[in-house]
Every structure is written in C-alpha cells, then in structure tokens.
Amino acid sequence: MSTALRSNVTPEARGKSAAPPVTPPPWKWHWVWIGAFAAYTVLVILTALQNAVFAARSGTPIEWYDLVISRALEEYSCALFVPALFWMVHRFPIDRRHWFSRACLLLASSVVFVVAKYALMQPVAALLVRGPTDSVGTAIMSNIVAVLFDFWAVIGVAHAIEFYQRARERERTTLQLRAQLSRAQLDALQSQLHPHFLFNTLHAASTLMHRDVDGADAMLTQLADLLRATLRRPGMHEIPLHEELALVDRYLAIMRARFRDRLTVECDVAPETAQALVPLFLLQPLVENALEHGIARRAGAGRLEIRAERCGAQLRLSVADDGPGLSPTAPSDDGVGLANTRARLQELYGDAQCLTLEQALPSGGTRVVVMIPFWVRAGAAESTLAEIGGA
C-alpha cells in the first residue's frame, strides 16, 4: 500500500516563499521628506515673487496673505506625495523589461495623486483664502497637466537615485566577486605548489635513504617541521620577508642533509626590507630551482646567494647560483615552480611586478630577480621606524 506524503505548506505560503525579496530603498525616508519640503519651499518663494511682480506690473493690488497661502497650499500639497512617488519608483521602476507596464502604472498613479491633491487642498483653501476658490473638479482640470509634469520630474529624480545606487551596488558586488575569484585563484596556485615541493623533497629523501639513512631521517624531520610551519598560515597570501626567510632556512636545512659540504649559502638582506610583505612561499621554489638546476649539476661545491634590497618603491629579491647557467638550446618552459610563481605574482600585483632570469656570473650561473611593490603593514612600519630611531 502506498501512502501519499502531504505537505503542510499552504499555497499562500508557497507563493510568499517564491516571491523575490524586496530590497530596501537606497534612501532614508526622513531625508525624502526634508528634501521635498525644502525644494517646494523654494518654489513657494519663487512663484509668490513671480505673481507679485506680475501684479505690480499690471497695477493690481498685491494681496500678500492670499498670495502666499495659495502658493503654499499649491506647492506643499505636491510635497505630500513625493514619498509616495519615491516608493512607487523603488517598487515599480521603469526598466528595460517592464518599461511599458511600469510607465502606465506610474502615469495612472500620478493622475490619482493629482485628484487626491486637489481633493485635500481645495477644502483647506476655501477655509484659509479670503477670496473665491475653484471647485475640486475645476482645479483638477485647470492644473492637471502642470502638476503631472511636476510629479514626473520627481519620478525622474527618484529613478536617477535608484539607478545610481543600483550601479554602485553592482560595482561593489563585482569588486567583491573579483576579490573572491582572485583569492580562489591564489589558493589554487598555492595548493598546486605544495604537492610539487613535497614530491621533490620526498624524492630527494628516498634517493638519500640508500646511502645515508641518518641524513634521510634528518631530512624528513626537517620536512615535517617545515610543513607544520606552513600549515600555521591558512588563507594567508603575503607574509613579512623575515618570516619567508625563516621558511627558506627550514627548507635549506632539509637540502643540507642532501648536499652536505657541497652547499654554501650567502644571505644578504637589507635591514629595512625585513618587514616588507612578500607572497608566501615565494623564495622556496626559486631556491629549489637554483639547487636542482644549478648546484646539483656541478661536480663540486656550489654557492647559493639570496639578496633583498629596496629600490625606491620596489622590493628587489634575487636568488643566484654558480651552476652551469642558462643554456641557449634548453627549452623555454619555466617548469611548475617558476610558472606558478609568475602566475601568483601576476595575480597579486598585476603589472607592478616582474620576474626575470639572467646570467649570474661571466662564467655561468643563473640569477632569478623578482621586483614587487614595497609595502609593510602599518604596525610593522611603526616598529621598524622605532628600532631605527633607537639605534
């Protein structure tokens, strides 16, 4: 026997849940009221002065009381409907998909507001104005076109504000999406780099295991320490240079177990660059590239140089080896390490960075030079200046 599952959700509730949410208006309602009455106050003054000038030119006595009261009732009764017009524009804006139906709706609403305006205004005018006043129907027929132009000017202003705020919101959303995409791309590149580094290190350890078990064991221990230090920085894409150099020291400790006395490292870092922000794991693939394609291919001992200096608004980092150097017949493919580094630099800094390869020495060797913008975190900059001043 089959049983039908009954839904406890009523059709009315389904309709409500399916309706798209209405976003809040891009304005504060109290400012709409204030702006409306301020604008129509200016119109009261200007139209009253205009009527007074016409009366003076024609020789008609100026009844200031009736003149001001009639103009104030005419303009301020329009101001009462400005918030309603703004609400209509926010709820039913004239857009490309619904321009005809929305325009007709706003036109019909404007006509209704004109009728309501004079239905409210004329009884008040009969009480306050000392002279004769028109009936509601006569007032509507005499002024409907002018008031409709007035209301549609308000509708135009409301549309301008509405679409301006929508454009700003789209721009803000686009920037957020771009930032999220950039972070996702950087995370993907960084996740690509870690397995490549791990594979190369484990391969070196397995090779060393056949002739030096203690050295291979020390290499794996250092590798564990390096991975632990890396995992302490989830989601980070930039770190101070001195922290990056500490990670490189851990990696070089692993490589010393492999190269032993064949490897000499010289590190020349300008003091003012210690707090400069650099991409996480920037130097490790450059050092690895120098070891694998430079030092490892030498018959004897080799030297590795790591330098950092500030060049104006740029930070210059270089990693050099005294290996065989660049071969003109070698393929131009960068490999995973350099290609990944280029992509990360482009993602982080755009055109404000560059990575170049050049010959390090007249006799050979390769130098990788990275230029990126020089900046530090605010707190780090203040502490660095304090240390320099104290020194």
pLDDT at 268: 95
Clarify whether residues 78 and 171 are in a common domain: yes
Clarify whether residues 158 and 236 are in a common domain: no
Amino acid at 14: R
- The mean pLDDT of 213-240, rounded to a whole number, is 73
User: Residues of the chain with pLDDT > 70: what percent?
Assistant: 79
The highest-confidence range among 23-32, 68-77, 265-274, by mean pLDDT, is 265-274
Residue 189 falls inside a structural domain: no
- The mean pLDDT of 60-84, rounded to a whole number, is 87
Clarify whether residues 71 and 164 are in a common domain: yes
- The mean pLDDT of 311-330, rounded to a whole number, is 85
pLDDT at 7: 42
H/E segment holding residue 364 = strand 364-373
pLDDT for residue 80 is more than 50: yes
Give the tokens for residue 366: 């390769």
Extract long-range pairs of 28-31: CB within 8 Å, 24+ residues apart. Answer: 29/83
**Beta pairing partners, 305:** 266, 320
Clarify whether residues 161 and 269 are in a common domain: no
- Predicted structure pTM score: 0.51
Clarify whether residues 119 and 258 are in a common domain: no
Clarify whether residues 256 and 327 are in a common domain: yes
Clarify whether residues 263 and 367 are in a common domain: yes
Q: Do residues 349 and 296 make contact, with C-beta atoms less than 8 angstroms apart? A: no
pLDDT at 328: 62
pLDDT interval class at 211 (50, 70, 90): confident
pLDDT at 276: 95
pLDDT for residue 193 is more than 60: no
Amino acid at 123: P
pLDDT for residue 253 is more than 80: yes
Among 2-6, 86-90, 227-231, the least confident range: 2-6
- The total domain count for the chain is 2
The highest-confidence range among 6-10, 170-174, 353-357, 384-388, by mean pLDDT, is 353-357
pLDDT for residue 47 is more than 50: yes
What is the average pLDDT score of the chain?
Answer: 80
pLDDT interval class at 390 (50, 70, 90): very low
pLDDT interval class at 277 (50, 70, 90): very high
- The mean pLDDT of 27-48, rounded to a whole number, is 88
Amino acid at 377: R
Clarify whether residues 269 and 314 are in a common domain: yes
Q: Do residues 139 and 118 make contact, with C-beta atoms less than 8 angstroms apart? A: yes
**Beta pairing partners, 355:** 370
| Distance from C-alpha of 206 to C-alpha of 220, rounded to nearest angstrom | 10
- The mean pLDDT of 78-102, rounded to a whole number, is 91
Clarify whether residues 219 and 288 are in a common domain: yes
pLDDT at 51: 84
pLDDT for residue 346 is more than 90: no
Q: Reduce the DSSP state of residue 7 to 3 states and report it.
A: coil
Residue 220, Cβ neighbours under 10 Å: how many? 18
By residue range, what is the domain housing residue 249? 212-390
pLDDT for residue 5 is more than 50: no
Pick 63 or 193 by higher pLDDT.
63
| Distance from C-alpha of 88 to C-alpha of 105, rounded to nearest angstrom | 9
Pick 174 or 276 by higher pLDDT.
276
pLDDT for residue 15 is more than 60: no
Pick 148 or 61 by higher pLDDT.
148
Q: Do residues 303 and 361 make contact, with C-beta atoms less than 8 angstroms apart? A: no
- The mean pLDDT of 305-320, rounded to a whole number, is 96
pLDDT for residue 313 is more than 90: yes
Residue 318 falls inside a structural domain: yes
Residue 15 falls inside a structural domain: no
Clarify whether residues 258 and 359 are in a common domain: yes
pLDDT at 298: 79
Clarify whether residues 354 and 285 are in a common domain: yes
pLDDT for residue 200 is more than 70: no
Give the tokens for residue 203: 């391969």
